[in-house]
Structure 1
Amino acid sequence: MTKQDMTTLQAYGWNEHWRLMAAQIPKQDKALVPARITAQFSKQYRIITQEGEQAAIVTGKYEYEASSKSDFPAVGDWVMVEPLQGESRAVIHHLLPRQSAVTRREAGSVPDEQIIAANMDTVFIINALNKDFNVRRIERYLIAVWESGAAPVVLLTKADLCESPEAYVAEVEAVAPGVPVHAVSSLMDQGKEQLGEYLVQGKTVAITGTSGAGKSTLLNWLSGQEMQRVQGIREEDARGRHTTTHRELFVLPGGAIMVDTPGMRELQLWDSEEGFEATFADISALAQQCRFHDCRHETEAGCAVQEALQNGTLDAKRYANYKKTERELAHIARKERVSTRRQNKSSGKSSRKSDRGRKGAYQQLLYDDE
């Protein structure tokens, strides 16, 4: 790979870590080259390689061996591809191990994980300062981002719509200790200087939040050009339609890499125990102070959680969201265990049928030989 080729990939975040990961691909695949997923349209992808932008799909073998949807590439992933000679297309053979990934539970009766974006350094959680402002929703996004391995940053957009954005910043900081919270306004061009420390050349930032929160507007504002089309919102409930219809990666003029994602009406969590603990670390710390280690935080004597609720140091709505999310994650875990048992049982039946088939064929072979 030439110096010029390296420069092309480095603009999209290629570094020594990814070079070492790519070097571990089996030698028989030495014709493969690295690429990053820049857009996803179901199972069709747009990628960037040292030769520039190309279309791509996974190989038949890749698709056959994938056990879940999360095994397929997502925007932000680094992959090893085989460019097709004489075409601006390639096929994806390998997915390099992810450093981070924001996930959610995909809708449906069978639990499955969906990758929203991969290999981000920072995730901007967007919430507008209008009728859609919701601290409980921010807590849910914090769980997903902490679980991802990326660093969360909360951006309160449309700060021009309220008289005291500082009060909202303080409210979010109270439920997100240690997480940077910034109020910004693209309309008034306010707050951009606060974001410079995250928008570093070669670093990847994902934007996530509900529809109408101003994600595409934020991207356009930070880039200084219209990279994404923007739609209005309904004034009666401050909700918007999905401007972004697919996940896509952009390189900003300053060199930072940004991933825009479609708005989500509701974030269904997926296997988020660590993110849950990080988001509600204050409640977990209180629970450690209870007199009994198996305290259910209801009517037990010496319950530090109930004491904090009564004296006002723990917000009742925050605790209610904690309990609701705890039940939700436990329900997801149960469904996942049931699904795994069914799959294992089905796999065992298939294996036994296969063994019986092989045994029958072997016995028939002996009979024929006689």
Structure 2
Amino acid sequence: MFDFDYEALRAIGLTQYLINQLHALAEPPRPGSALMRIVEVQRDHLTVHDGHGERQARALPRLTAMLQAHADALAVGDWVVAETHAGEECWIATRLEPLTQLARRANDGRRQMLASNVDTALLLMGLDLDYNPRRLERYLALTQAAGLEAVAVLTKADVGDAVEQRMAELHARLPRRIPVLALNGQDASAREALAPWLGAGQTLVLLGSSGAGKSTLSNTLLMAEAQLTGGVRRGDGRGRHTTTARSLHCLPGGACIIDTPGLRTWRPDADETEVAASFDDIAALAGRCRFRDCRHRDEPGCAVRETVPADRLLNYHKLLREARRGQQTALERKAETAKWKAIGKAGRARGEEKRR
């Protein structure tokens, strides 16, 4: 029988869904094994938590190989079964299937895991030079495609520009179901504003660019200086990447929060259907277009173009292109690149011919 301290593990996010998986494992855990949660991933080791404390561990090669075969990898937030071998070394032998996974696609199409078993994504954007509604829409579309609840959090409300105007812009632009909050990440009132999502057993992830205030907000919620913070550049408001690794922290109220490094790019780890579904206003209007197969580009009688702001529609088409590219194989991406090179070359040749 595999024993574990339910109350201690529940405090770091253990749910009945995960317990059911544990009892259904094809191979029962070895005697002396322990159920743990990954709280940090480094290149040469992982940090795991058993509900009482942290320790370093490594993944067994067979587990790593099995995950890689399915374009998967261990991530912060994963629940694992760890074994203690000779020399008191801790080895991760099994990963429980995540309820949710947040990932992105690299330039070569590989999946890069960001976090697992997350309930809510706090999408941070500063009310200074960091303000960018299109980037917030991108984060929203991709977190919703991963099955996460999302909350738009505008930081630096105490020093930001045109706070009320920008709040009104986002309320009009984003789906009504998405909460939009403006707060000062250094003030205790931030804990009160986010209280509905900080229930015991909940796991949140902070996402945003460098300098958006993720680590500052983490420290405020933790009521401790757990994460390093830094200033932003005067010219463009960007941060200096004080957070270099994703890490999970336990809040005093029983919730867990995952802080992440600033995201420079975030290509969709979702197909076109999943991305399109996150733009529910466009999906609702599409039924009123004149043509059933309207692509919302230059077709006459397009209800989407008549109603949706051009900037939001441009963002929609860009995400669909990236999602389509992310699903291609390396050979398909190579063929598409060659096709567009040929088209460009032919266009230049026609231009030169006209000039002659």
Is the 8 Å Cα contact of residues 36 and 81 (structure 2) preserved in structure 1? yes
- The question of 1:120 aligning with 2:144 is answered no
Counterpart for residue 93 of structure 1: 93
Could you state the TM-score of these two structures normalised by the residue count of structure 2? 0.86
1:111 is displaced (CA, Å) by: 1.2
Q: How does 1:240-251 map to 2 (within 5 A)?
A: 240-251=239-250
Structure 1 Cα separation of the partners of residues 294 and 249 of structure 2: 49
Counterpart for residue 146 of structure 1: 144
Secondary structure, in 3 states, of the residue corresponding to 2:216? helix
Counterpart for residue 365 of structure 1: none
1:140 is displaced (CA, Å) by: 0.8
Counterpart for residue 64 of structure 2: 63
Structure 2 Cα separation of the partners of residues 168 and 42 of structure 1: 40
Going from structure 1 to structure 2, the CA distance change for 1:325 and 1:51 (only over 3 Å counts) comes to closer
Is the 8 Å Cα contact of residues 44 and 57 (structure 1) preserved in structure 2? yes
Counterpart for residue 40 of structure 1: 41
Question: Which of 147-156 and 173-182 deviates more?
Answer: 173-182
Counterpart for residue 173 of structure 2: 175
1:29 is displaced (CA, Å) by: 3.1
Counterpart for residue 102 of structure 2: 102
- The question of 1:193 aligning with 2:178 is answered no
1:301 is displaced (CA, Å) by: 3.3
Structure 2 Cα separation of the partners of residues 199 and 85 of structure 1: 40
Secondary structure, in 3 states, of the residue corresponding to 1:277? helix
1:17 is displaced (CA, Å) by: 2.1
Counterpart for residue 129 of structure 2: 131
Structure 1 Cα separation of the partners of residues 169 and 71 of structure 2: 35
Going from structure 1 to structure 2, the CA distance change for 1:321 and 1:50 (only over 3 Å counts) comes to closer
Amino acid in structure 2 at the alignment position of 1:104: R
Is the 8 Å Cα contact of residues 176 and 279 (structure 1) preserved in structure 2? no
Structure 2 Cα separation of the partners of residues 337 and 36 of structure 1: 38
Structure 1 Cα separation of the partners of residues 303 and 263 of structure 2: 36
Counterpart for residue 5 of structure 2: 5
Is the 8 Å Cα contact of residues 139 and 279 (structure 1) preserved in structure 2? no
Going from structure 1 to structure 2, the CA distance change for 1:260 and 1:289 (only over 3 Å counts) comes to same
Q: Percent identity?
A: 37
Secondary structure, in 3 states, of the residue corresponding to 1:159? coil
Going from structure 1 to structure 2, the CA distance change for 1:72 and 1:328 (only over 3 Å counts) comes to closer
Question: Which of 193-202 and 273-282 deviates more?
Answer: 273-282
Going from structure 1 to structure 2, the CA distance change for 1:169 and 1:278 (only over 3 Å counts) comes to farther
Amino acid in structure 2 at the alignment position of 1:245: T
Counterpart for residue 316 of structure 1: 310
Secondary structure, in 3 states, of the residue corresponding to 2:14? coil
Counterpart for residue 264 of structure 1: 263
Going from structure 1 to structure 2, the CA distance change for 1:228 and 1:50 (only over 3 Å counts) comes to closer
1:207 is displaced (CA, Å) by: 0.5
Is the 8 Å Cα contact of residues 271 and 324 (structure 2) preserved in structure 1? no
Structure 2 Cα separation of the partners of residues 20 and 81 of structure 1: 18
Question: Which of 4-13 and 193-202 deviates more?
Answer: 4-13
Counterpart for residue 278 of structure 1: 277
Is the 8 Å Cα contact of residues 69 and 114 (structure 1) preserved in structure 2? no
Going from structure 1 to structure 2, the CA distance change for 1:7 and 1:86 (only over 3 Å counts) comes to farther
1:253 is displaced (CA, Å) by: 1.3
Counterpart for residue 16 of structure 2: 16
Number of equivalenced pairs: 333
Structure 1: gaps of 5 or more residues:
340-370
Is the 8 Å Cα contact of residues 204 and 257 (structure 1) preserved in structure 2? yes
Q: Deviations over 1:203-242 (max 9, x none)?
A: 1011011011000000011111101010111111100111
Secondary structure, in 3 states, of the residue corresponding to 1:285? helix
Question: Which of 173-182 and 135-144 deviates more?
Answer: 173-182
Amino acid in structure 2 at the alignment position of 1:124: L
Could you state the TM-score of these two structures normalised by the residue count of structure 1? 0.83
Q: Deviations over 1:270-326 (max 9, x none)?
A: 2243542233111122222112112233443332123x1xxxx32111111112222
1:30 is displaced (CA, Å) by: 3.8
Counterpart for residue 352 of structure 1: none
Structure 1 Cα separation of the partners of residues 69 and 112 of structure 2: 9
Structure 1 Cα separation of the partners of residues 240 and 12 of structure 2: 29
CA RMSD across the alignment: 2.5
Question: Which of 49-58 and 190-199 deviates more?
Answer: 49-58
Going from structure 1 to structure 2, the CA distance change for 1:145 and 1:283 (only over 3 Å counts) comes to same
Secondary structure, in 3 states, of the residue corresponding to 1:146? helix
Is the 8 Å Cα contact of residues 143 and 272 (structure 1) preserved in structure 2? no
Secondary structure, in 3 states, of the residue corresponding to 1:293? coil
Structure 2 Cα separation of the partners of residues 28 and 186 of structure 1: 45
> Runs (4+) of structure 1 moved beyond 6 Å?
1-4
Is the 8 Å Cα contact of residues 129 and 159 (structure 1) preserved in structure 2? yes
Counterpart for residue 328 of structure 2: 334
Structure 2 Cα separation of the partners of residues 136 and 62 of structure 1: 38
Question: Which of 184-193 and 131-140 deviates more?
Answer: 184-193
Going from structure 1 to structure 2, the CA distance change for 1:51 and 1:282 (only over 3 Å counts) comes to closer
Is the 8 Å Cα contact of residues 74 and 116 (structure 1) preserved in structure 2? yes
Secondary structure, in 3 states, of the residue corresponding to 2:158? helix
Is the 8 Å Cα contact of residues 46 and 54 (structure 1) preserved in structure 2? yes
